[in-house]
Structure 1
Amino acid sequence: MNTPLATASGTPTGSPSGTAPAAIAAAPAGLPTLPRPGADEFDAVVAHGAYMPLTQFGVIDATGDDAASFLHGQLTNDTQHLDAASARLAGYCSAKGRLLASFLTWRSGDTIRLLVSKDVQAAVQKRLSMFVLRAKAKLTDASGELAVIGLAGDVRKALSGVFDALPDGVHVKVDGAAGSLIRVPDALGRLRYLWVGPKAQIESQLALLDETLKRVSPAVWDWLDIRAGEPRITQPVVEQFVPQMVNFDVLGAVNFRKGCYPGQEVVARSQYRGTIKRRTSLATVAGEPDTVRAGAELFHSDDPGQPCGMVVNAASAPEGGVDVLVEIKLAALENGSVHLGAATGPALRFLALPYGLPTEV
């Protein structure tokens, strides 16, 4: 359903031309639905430690003398001053300020790496490459050469057998012979790390992990990302949100002091014009992952005729049902109930995010 969109301040704008940009519209319809993990897979993360190969991600490598400055002029965050010991979230917007992709960015030697949802990678890489022009920068798909592993829970001892040191803070990165290890935000009080490196070297180390950690479904990582309150732009929600709608300003994915990038005026205006009326919240809802999907609309009990929000990400929950991050009008959270798909659909039960949102006045 093609419904009018709104800026973060709540002003309806409609979609830019009724369709997404051509390069994005040509992308696949979304990632395959992952089966519901077993209870033992969720328990492994919470009670012990687990690792999971993350097949839902791809990696774009940016190389060349101008790679950092080129990306600095395209993304919402600062890549010009990205140091070797840090990683940063960033978004890539259309000229209308709507997110086409979200990334975790970091340096690997002279390369800047972009971790991105695999279903938007090819289209976004193609679109970015169109704007390289005379810059000494090249974007390549590194997904075939690299493995991406998520680790969660009590995993430090296992990782210390691979890396000489472990990151001591969120978005701190260390490098070793087997690649890069980045600490990402905790979920449910459990530590989480991303390990990205050459496939052969990582695969040679997995037997060591198997001695102490349980290998679980990548769907568990999607659930942990949701419980960490960290949205990810996938194909079904391309060009639906300005960054503030998915809390990217709160999560440090937008640098409001950097220079221009596509959509920067819209993003800045949404930040400084006054009250932000739409945000992303955490909730749970009855259903299965094949029916509760990103892009599904939400409806309020008091206003059944028009949507009040949209599912950003969804993943199977341990106790049954599906946990979701939803972009929603803040006014819809004040009273009544919010439902999936229609005002008569399953009701959402809202949960506390693991971080605070700015108090709007």
Structure 2
Amino acid sequence: MPVTFQAETLLLEGDDAIAFAQAQFSGNAAALAVGRWQFSAWLDAQGRVRALFHLARVSEKSLLLLLRGGCAEPFADALRRFVFRSKVKLQALPVRALGTSAAMESHTVEQRGDAVVLGCGMHSITIGARQDDAWRAEQIHLGWPWLPDAALDALLPPALSLERLQAVAFDKGCYPGQEIAARLHFRGGHKRHMHCVVLSQALPPGTVLRDEQSDAAQLLDVVATDNANVALAVINDALAEQGKSHALRWNEDIIDIELRERWPA
């Protein structure tokens, strides 16, 4: 069954909105200019990614978050527990259409009537204007992960290449999971990394593929094109080191998987 992606968004606004984001999220929100967006994440105390999102500064005192997986309302509820006396309002916005529009400089933000457009280089994604999934295949090739429910609260930043996406800052002070993220950055040692792969058949996002011994790969997003079933997948390094082509198990089926590109942490 085709997967439809919609825009789950959250608005942070108030005198302390930027400071709150700086203290809670992994990216450097304080360095984000009005009219720009960055990748960022909310980590748990063990460094696992609870939420991944585009963080867009839409005014001096407001931020718009477009979640790359998960739902806005429970995310907002979880964040509200950390507001304390901060002058910030967190609002989960109604679900809106998410679609593709013309090329626009990467990391730029434009308001077009009721719609918000996030520039992604060779294409843009538009919140609230139209519904289509054309952007998904392009972003798989860029290595921009979208997290299915099975991957939420489960993966560490290196597995999603968050450092490459500049979604993790190491010089801005403390935030949840910062100690674990910094340890992985400076000491390394993580054994799972993200790849662009081609599959012998389309499978649901979140699917876990196994080799003879253990879980070997988890699919984050899968798009069936005219030529191939392309996906982003988190792959165990031990499997990747054995070569580019593998036959893995999904239930009773054998799935052929070809590793095309690997991204570092």
**Alignment counterpart, residue 223 of structure 1, candidates 120, 137, 152:** 137
**Alignment counterpart, residue 99 of structure 1, candidates 46, 49, 62:** 49
2:78 corresponds to 1:127: yes
Q: What one-letter code is carried by the residue in structure 1 that aligns with 2:256?
A: A
Match of 2:231 in 1: 324
Structure 1 SS opposite 2:11: strand
Q: Using CA pairs under 8 Å that are at least 6 residues apart, name the structure with larger relative contact order, 1 or 2.
A: 1
In structure 2, C-alpha distance between the alignment counterparts of 1:55 and 1:312, rounded to whole Å: 13
Q: Which has the higher strand share?
A: 2
Match of 1:298 in 2: 209
Match of 1:183 in 2: 119
TM-score, structure 1 normalization: 0.66
2:126 corresponds to 1:195: yes
Match of 1:108 in 2: 58
Whether the 8 Å contact between 2:99 and 2:132 is mirrored in structure 1 is no
What stretches of structure 2 of length at least 5 have no aligned partner? none
1:28-72 CA-to-partner distances (Å, cap 9, x unmatched) read xxxxx526xxxxxxxxxxxxxxxxxx8522110001111111111
| Length, aligned pairs only | 262
Match of 1:208 in 2: none
CA offset at residue 179 of structure 1?
Answer: 4.9
CA offset at residue 118 of structure 1?
Answer: 6.1
2:13 corresponds to 1:63: yes
1:67-110 CA-to-partner distances (Å, cap 9, x unmatched) read 11111111110112210132100111111111111110111123
TM-score, structure 2 normalization: 0.87
2:253 corresponds to 1:339: no
Whether the 8 Å contact between 2:40 and 2:167 is mirrored in structure 1 is yes
In structure 2, C-alpha distance between the alignment counterparts of 1:94 and 1:70, rounded to whole Å: 16
- Within-5 A mapping of 1:37-186: 55-109=5-59, 110-117=61-68, 119-143=70-94, 148-151=98-101, 155=102, 167=104, 169-175=105-111, 177=113, 179-185=115-121
In structure 2, C-alpha distance between the alignment counterparts of 1:259 and 1:232, rounded to whole Å: 27
In structure 1, C-alpha distance between the alignment counterparts of 2:232 and 2:152, rounded to whole Å: 15
Q: What one-letter code is carried by the residue in structure 2 that aligns with 1:233?
A: L
In structure 2, C-alpha distance between the alignment counterparts of 1:238 and 1:299, rounded to whole Å: 20
In structure 1, C-alpha distance between the alignment counterparts of 2:106 and 2:249, rounded to whole Å: 33
Q: What one-letter code is carried by the residue in structure 1 that aligns with 2:230?
A: D
CA offset at residue 299 of structure 1?
Answer: 2.4
**Max Rg structure:** 1
In structure 2, C-alpha distance between the alignment counterparts of 1:251 and 1:340, rounded to whole Å: 31
Structure 1 SS opposite 2:233: strand
Inter-CA distance 219–194: structure 2 relative to 1 (3 Å threshold): closer
Match of 2:149 in 1: 235
RMSD: 2.5
